[in-house]
Structure 1
Amino acid sequence: MQEDDYLGLVCSRWCHWSELELQRIPRRPLAPGQVRIRVRHAGVGFALSLFVSGKYQRKPPLPFTPGTEAAGEIIEVAPDVTRLRPGMRVAAALDWGGFAEEVVTTADTVYPVPDGLELAHAAALPVTYGTVWAALAWRAALQPGETMLVHGASGALGTAAVQVGRLMGARVIATASTEAKREAALRNGAAHARPSDAATLAASVKALCPAGGADVVFDPVGGDLFDASLRCTAPGARLLSIGFASGRIPEVPANLLLVKNLSLIGFNYGYYIGWGLTDERKRFAPQVQQVVAQIMQAVAGGELAPPVLQHFPLRDWLAAVDTTMSRRAIGKVMLDI
């Protein structure tokens, strides 16, 4: 590799994700507060399709390299960066740029990786597991002994939610679309796994819950499953709306919230790491850094199982993205750079 460029996946215009191209990318200098990372692994997320088509709430300047979560080693730090140093193994939550051999990013959302934690596992933690941990701890206030219903339990967020919910002391009921995915959820720590069938969901969940339903719902799917979730919650339950992988944004009958004392909680982790309409990452950096450190130590110490990963080399990026977009993935799809 030449010193002034590196290989990466490039979006030159708003397009379908299959139209991205591997290209040489000119290396750019560091600005104050930034670090340069040699990327070893980068996670593939479902939002990629929105990002490269220009339909996401944030639009990077074209051309750009997608990829919002990565891990590797620091090559270089700006003079004003003191928390990090060259040679450190790190994971990062990125604005974009992860699907490349190098990335330049703000130091505020870069996190040291402890000894004993593989970089591939670390790459999945700041965004995917950070979303789950923060949603359950900060917003849903999940308590030991409660029952949590997790939709999309074989996907990246769902897999993490099953693991973190169990670590926090909850009994987890998982939903997934196939028998293989439900078996994977059980191996991952779910107490029960049920089909993601909106028509039968309420009856199947209530049969497992003497209190009348789930105390917390973790929902990255939306659509019909969200509608069904309103009917299988216990009084006083909290419903976390994380995303809409089904493609339909549900509408909520407010009378159900009133009658059952339900709390509907929207959670946008991006707000805390600089992806919101205003960049609030510096304000929340200490809070997020603490959460990511807790997650990493839990995995490194064996309290939390390592993320379930499906690996693809960078040259097979097309297959990697297709596996994610077609919802065939069990766990997190990871590009090995």
Structure 2
Amino acid sequence: MEKGERRMPERGRATSKSTPVAVETLAATLAAQRRADDLVGSQAVLPAACDHLAHILRLLQEARGDYTRRLAAVASEASQFAGWLHTATGAHDQAGSLYDQALRLGVQAGDHNLAATALSMRGHLAWTSGDYTEMAELSQAAAEMATAAGTRTVATQQRGRALALLGERQDALRAIGEAEEVLAKGTGRDDPDGLYFYGTELLAMQLGLILAYLARSPAEYLAAAEAIAGGIAAFPPALRDSEWVAWYRVQAAAALGMAGEAEEALTGLRKAFGVLSSTGGTKTIADIARVHRSLARRWPRHPDVASFGEALR
């Protein structure tokens, strides 16, 4: 071999940068960033997650051989996670591109559940923009693609929420019942690592959302709030006090307000605000302010409502 010549990697073997240990280290770093998101919030984790994704994609361009598919799978999960962080911080256009990338990489990895997760997250993004028909269609496509129980459950319940928002009461309740059945029969072994948080607790919270969307009476709103609160209470503390769970607390508070429970609604808003005061979460703080305004309209002379308004300002 002449001086200055580069030795090309042998066909069928991975480059030194994408050995099994290196790929699993990248996956472990991604898992740690997910846990950091639970503890400190999306805005704080976003820069490091984007840098990590860029590094994985560079390695994937160079990778050859046996570990390319596994590296593509990690890249898909990292793209999905970065998309989630962008969604949580209000950067929806960037989130959409990242979810599309996650879908392509999931297909490249030959992993139906990663591809289905990317479709589900595209459906979640449609929900944030108010396109509930697209939310339902993408969620159904994800449920049909998924082979793992948790992945299919996520998509199925999300379709149920879309149907509830579209006013399809019976179909929405049927979807959440199907989601409960799928989750109960599954093992979770085949689900992507990013679904570490998903179980009966979160499904109960999502049932609460559906009940809140469909509620027409104080008793129905109270049942919705209780379903959400019950799911939150069943979480371990690290998840219970996360930024994204704070959003569910706000939805429970909104339902309690509609049920006529001013004090309980304020308790939920205070708890959510306490979490977000340390993590940021400006989108959810805006939701808190919206729910507070509805309480203030209903109870304009309630002293605790007024004092919480001062705290928000």
Decide: shared fold, TM above 0.5.
no
Per the normalisation by structure 1, the TM-score is 0.27
Relative contact order, higher structure (CA 8 A, sep 6+): 1
Per the normalisation by structure 2, the TM-score is 0.28
